[in-house]
Amino acid sequence: MTLEILTYSNLLALITLTLLEIVLGLDNLIFISILVEKLEHSKQALARTIGISLALITRIILLLSISWIMKLTEPVLSIGEFSFSGRDLILLIGGLFLIGKATHEIHEKIDHKETITTDRKKRASFFPIVIQIALLDIVFSLDSVITAVGMVDNITIMITAIVISMIIMLLSARSISDFINKHPTFKILALSFLILIGVVLVSESLGQHISKSTIYFSIGFSMFVEFINMKIKEKEVQ
């Protein structure tokens, strides 16, 4: 089995799928980073670790239930001219939740005062935050696993790619979280990114396919421009 995996084609598939899983996991990581920022600083690292671990466990469970996942594409509900499969309903609910949550966070950033923010951090409970992370992990994981199944037919390669991508995310989680929280404009951009992902999920549930490569390129370009803008502002201050 090991020698079979170490063929050129399988190694190429493993590398490609790992990189893709990292990209697909960024929105999951951004959501986790924004949520755990509400907790006391001493609990944030633990919440990030639990959130990413839950994402890994969810992905592996879904991979081992491939036959069940394939059944999720069969219609289970029809409303007018729209028919929804189990996957569509999960994406619809998850997308609407993501849009609502990110919009609420942006609204708070616009209207909040420092004292309110401090009180919110003190009141934020650990388990409700973890539950929110776990629920969204299901949505992000479903999308990630379906992508993996569509690219590779070797379950060992799929699981290996997901484990590697999750380890990389776990190692980089604190740096990404600290960077987002340190730069308010990047945080708003990240929340806008989550709204866009939510719109994509809702569109997918309604049968309207939007190229994810176009979405991720647009977000990457926006962040690159914002990074340049940030460096210019830093030089002006100096």
Q: How far apart are CA 115 and CA 113, in angstroms?
A: 6
Contact 162, 60 (CB under 8 A): yes
Is pLDDT at 170 greater than 80 in this prediction? yes
Tell me the two tokens of residue 132. Answer: 């929110």
3-state class (DSSP) for residue 72: coil
Tell me the per-residue pLDDT of 105-138, one tens digit each, with 9 for 90 and over.
888 777 765 444 444 445 568 888 888 888 888 8
Name the pLDDT band for 67 (thresholds 50, 70, 90).
low
What pTM was estimated for this model as a whole? 0.68
By three-state DSSP, how is residue 83 classified?
Answer: strand
Cα distance between residue 3 and residue 144, in whole Å: 26
Quote the tokens at residue 235.
């030089």
